[in-house]
Chain A
Amino acid sequence: MQTRDYRDIIGGAALIALGVFCAVHAAQNLPLGTVTHMGPGMFPMALGYILAGLGVLVAVPALFRPGRLPQPDYRSLAAVLVSTLLFALTIRTAGLVPAIVLLTLAAVLADNKLRFVEAALLSAALSLLAVLIFRVGLGMPIQPFIWPSFIPSF
């Protein structure tokens, strides 16, 4: 137990920061208009201030009560985010199959339940499944492999 409820303090502070940022950004970059004839900036600015106000209501009472610190699972977070990023980076340059293989190999690092050989088998199975469903079944124009341009294609 912590002496303060940091979970809500962090959450509330994030809301305040986000709200103020949106309100100020909208007010400075967009015409506000009048209430009768609202410009594009009015609605986002009002929402930003409301959000910041709600953030205050979340954070302030939390200063005076005990709570628990959130316990992030950094490893799962990193593995999942990196695997989606790898997919995004390789789908256009290397093709569907390499993208899925990289995605799978990064994703299994979140827990140590699979050995490398098993992970490789899983990635092969998923690649096959994806090609069958999306390429053959649904006819989507996704290239299974894209060869680097210095290798002549056949």
Chain B
Amino acid sequence: MFASFIDNLTIGLTVAFSLSNLFYCFVGVLLGTLVGVLPGIGALAAISLLLPITFHLDATSAIVMLAGVFYGASYGGSTASILLNLPGTPSAAVACLDGYPMAKQGRAGVALLMTTVASFIGGSIGIVVMMLLSPLIVSAALKFGPAEYFSMMVLGLVAASTISSGSALKGIAMVVLGILLGTAGSDLETGAGRFTFDIPELYDGVSLVVVAMGLFGVSEVIASIRTIRRGEIDRKSITFRSMIPTRDEVRRSWMPILRGTGLGSFFGALPGTGGVIASFMAYAIEKKIARDPSRFGKGAIEGITAPEAANNAADQTAFIPTMTLGIPGNVVMALMLGALTIHGIVPGPQLMAKHPDMFWGLVMSFWIGNVLLVILNVPLIGLWIRLLVIPYHLLYPAILMFVCIGVYSINNSPSDVVMVMVFGGLGYAMRLVDFQPAPLLLGFVLGPLMEENLRRTLLISRGDFMVFLERPISATVMAITAALLAWAAFGALRRRPAKAIEAT
């Protein structure tokens, strides 16, 4: 056991330290920080933008780079929160609460350094959790049949739509819509064309890149053009000297960082939840157990370190269900899954056995990426601050250009660009009536897998639906799902929608 663990680490280090993977890891975290710092482009939009480019790379490099964008954005996301009171990413929204007051007191430098340190500790412990937990989950998952897979996917989708988005009902509706969209194209078993309307472009179904870029790239641009305002930043106040925290701040930070990390590791590994909910909960807990809760909201250091540690730990452990079960816990992970599938690699219990180089190479690249991020975020902070001053009206035409070229380059097909336009308009309409696009994409990715497993289960059980309740693992998972639904329904009746928590 231990010897094979060391073997795996060696394989991983060899892969991660190969020149090309180092390069793509660096490019990934650099781009991630960039999109994290700039409000108005989320990690999601950035990853969907980069997806077409990764088709030209080998699978490991592609996933190393995309993962770097994902956790890199979490580091960068807090920069805009602290300096402008404008979160760069949804999970950095909490950092506004105490980060911005600190900046107004002239302690922006300390806040920026401490969030980086907290992110690094959270991320590092998250990686260790992933390394230890993944093999255990894989050995359990090898016993899974189609019924267990179907139940797990239902749980993941229900959890994602009930816990993290505004209205659970609308979230579930979006999941169902996503699954429906995923059925378009040729049926896996019979080859019958579904919802193709005799349009040749639809025979292969709708491509993931097109849906993701339309819903997250184009519609985000439409919604941001007139809403994003650039604030004024006092650039000169952030010097290296201003970053040194007081002894009291360090003493008050390390326990919250560890608590945040624990919370983040747990919620990250749970399918359907993730960094946003972990960071909000970490904040709430620190405030609750603080000796003087009134300091919160006025620049309490724990108010930024605990949530930042939590969301970075969650970012790393989110890879556990994705890589070991093939069930993505959040939309970014759904995109990762899509990227792997496009490369012909099916994430799931077989992944670690079949592609140990990829799995352990990815894990090891997380270490490299996290170290690179500390370097990128502390000495280069001046560069990122300068970027924050770029006005959005110069930025959004560039984003649109990258969307169009990226989509066009996949198949050299102008009709894909037209489809992105359609999904962009649709995504904007969804925002207007308050429907979240994230559960839709999650349903879209999981839909075909769910249908396959459902059909297989019912074939084995001769049409008996009780099979989902007769097999113990499946029954447990279904019970948790039912409990979540009941909790969501109860919450809706009590009319206390968690408005502050947005979908990841």
Given A40-B190, A84-B417, A85-B418, does the pair A107, B396 have CB atoms closer than 8 Å? yes
A54 to B167, CA, bound (A): 12
B residues 400-431 touching A (CB-CB < 8 Å): 400-401, 403-405, 408-409, 412, 414-415, 417-418, 420-421, 424-425, 428
CB-CB under 8 A from B56, the residues of chain A are: 138
Is B471 engaged at the interface, CB distance under 8 Å to the other chain?
no
Q: Are A77's CB and B428's CB within 8 A? A: yes
CB-CB under 8 A from A20, the residues of chain B are: none
B379-417 vs A, Cβ < 8 Å mask (1 yes, 0 no): 000000000000101101110110111001100101101
CB-CB under 8 A from B176, the residues of chain A are: 47, 50-51, 54
Is A30 engaged at the interface, CB distance under 8 Å to the other chain?
yes
Given A80-B221, A130-B405, does the pair A122, B173 have CB atoms closer than 8 Å? no
Q: Are A104's CB and B418's CB within 8 A? A: no
A70 to B401, CA, bound (A): 28
- Across the interface, name the chain A residue whose C-beta is closest to B415: A88
Q: Are B434's CB and A7's CB within 8 A? A: yes
Q: Are B222's CB and A73's CB within 8 A? A: yes
A49-77 vs B, Cβ < 8 Å mask (1 yes, 0 no): 01100110110000000000011110011
Is B454 engaged at the interface, CB distance under 8 Å to the other chain?
yes
Is A151 engaged at the interface, CB distance under 8 Å to the other chain?
no
A51 to B172, CA, bound (A): 9
Give the residue of A11, A36, A103 whose beta carbon is less than 8 angstroms from that of B401. Answer: A103
A residues 1-42 touching B (CB-CB < 8 Å): 7-8, 10-11, 14-15, 18, 22, 25-26, 30-31, 34-41
CB-CB under 8 A from A141, the residues of chain B are: 412
CB-CB under 8 A from B397, the residues of chain A are: 83, 103-104, 107-108, 122-123, 126
- Across the interface, name the chain A residue whose C-beta is closest to B403: A84
Q: Are A111's CB and B433's CB within 8 A? A: no
CB-CB under 8 A from A43, the residues of chain B are: 183, 451, 454-455
Q: Are B222's CB and A80's CB within 8 A? A: yes
Give the residue of A88, A108, A111, A142 whose beta carbon is less than 8 angstroms from that of B417. Answer: A88
CB-CB under 8 A from A89, the residues of chain B are: 414
Give the residue of B172, B194, B435 whose beta carbon is less than 8 angstroms from that of A26. Answer: B194
Q: Are B454's CB and A87's CB within 8 A? A: no
Q: Are B401's CB and A81's CB within 8 A? A: no
A71 to B454, CA, bound (A): 41
A125 to B164, CA, bound (A): 40
Q: How far is the CB of B209 from chain A (nearest CB, A)?
A: 14
Give the residue of B398, B421, B433 whose beta carbon is less than 8 angstroms from that of A7. Answer: B433
A96 to B404, CA, bound (A): 10
Given A34-B463, A88-B417, A103-B400, does the pair A51, B222 have CB atoms closer than 8 Å? no
A87 to B32, CA, bound (A): 27
Is A134 engaged at the interface, CB distance under 8 Å to the other chain?
yes
Given A108-B397, A130-B405, does the pair A84, B190 have CB atoms closer than 8 Å? no
- Across the interface, name the chain B residue whose C-beta is closest to A80: B222
CB-CB under 8 A from B394, the residues of chain A are: 114, 122
CB-CB under 8 A from B218, the residues of chain A are: 80, 84
Give the residue of A14, A15, A30, A37 whose beta carbon is less than 8 angstroms from that of B192. Answer: A30
CB-CB under 8 A from A57, the residues of chain B are: 169
Given A31-B192, A47-B176, A113-B391, does the pair A134, B433 have CB atoms closer than 8 Å? no
A35 to B464, CA, bound (A): 8
CB-CB under 8 A from B458, the residues of chain A are: 35-36, 38
Q: How far is the CB of A79 from chain B (nearest CB, A)?
A: 8
Q: How far is the CB of B32 from chain A (nearest CB, A)?
A: 18
A77 to B421, CA, bound (A): 10
Q: How far is the CB of A154 from chain B (nearest CB, A)?
A: 24
Given A77-B222, A80-B218, does the pair A37, B459 have CB atoms closer than 8 Å? yes
A142 to B52, CA, bound (A): 14
Give the residue of B169, B391, B398, B420 whose beta carbon is less than 8 angstroms from that of A84. Answer: B420
Given A73-B225, A80-B222, A84-B403, does the pair A35, B195 have CB atoms closer than 8 Å? no
Q: Are A25's CB and B177's CB within 8 A? A: no
A138 to B401, CA, bound (A): 16
A48 to B177, CA, bound (A): 8
Q: Are A76's CB and B400's CB within 8 A? A: no
A22 to B401, CA, bound (A): 34
Q: Are A47's CB and B173's CB within 8 A? A: no
A107 to B153, CA, bound (A): 40
Which residues on B are within 8 Å of A, measured CB to CB? 53, 56, 169-170, 172-173, 176-177, 179-180, 183, 187, 189-190, 192, 194-195, 218, 221-223, 225-226, 391, 393-394, 396-398, 400-401, 403-405, 408-409, 412, 414-415, 417-418, 420-421, 424-425, 428, 432-435, 451, 454-455, 458-459, 462-463, 465
Question: Can you sample 19 A-B contacts with CB below 8 Å?
Answer: A8-B434, A26-B195, A39-B192, A40-B187, A54-B172, A54-B173, A70-B433, A72-B432, A76-B223, A77-B222, A83-B397, A84-B404, A91-B414, A92-B414, A104-B397, A104-B401, A113-B391, A129-B398, A142-B409
Q: A-B pairs with the 4 shortest C-beta distances?
A: A36-B463, A11-B433, A40-B187, A88-B417
Q: A22-B180, A141-B412 are in contact. List 15 more A-B contacts (CB 8 A).
A: A15-B173, A22-B195, A44-B194, A47-B179, A73-B226, A76-B226, A80-B218, A83-B400, A87-B408, A89-B414, A103-B404, A110-B226, A110-B396, A113-B393, A138-B53
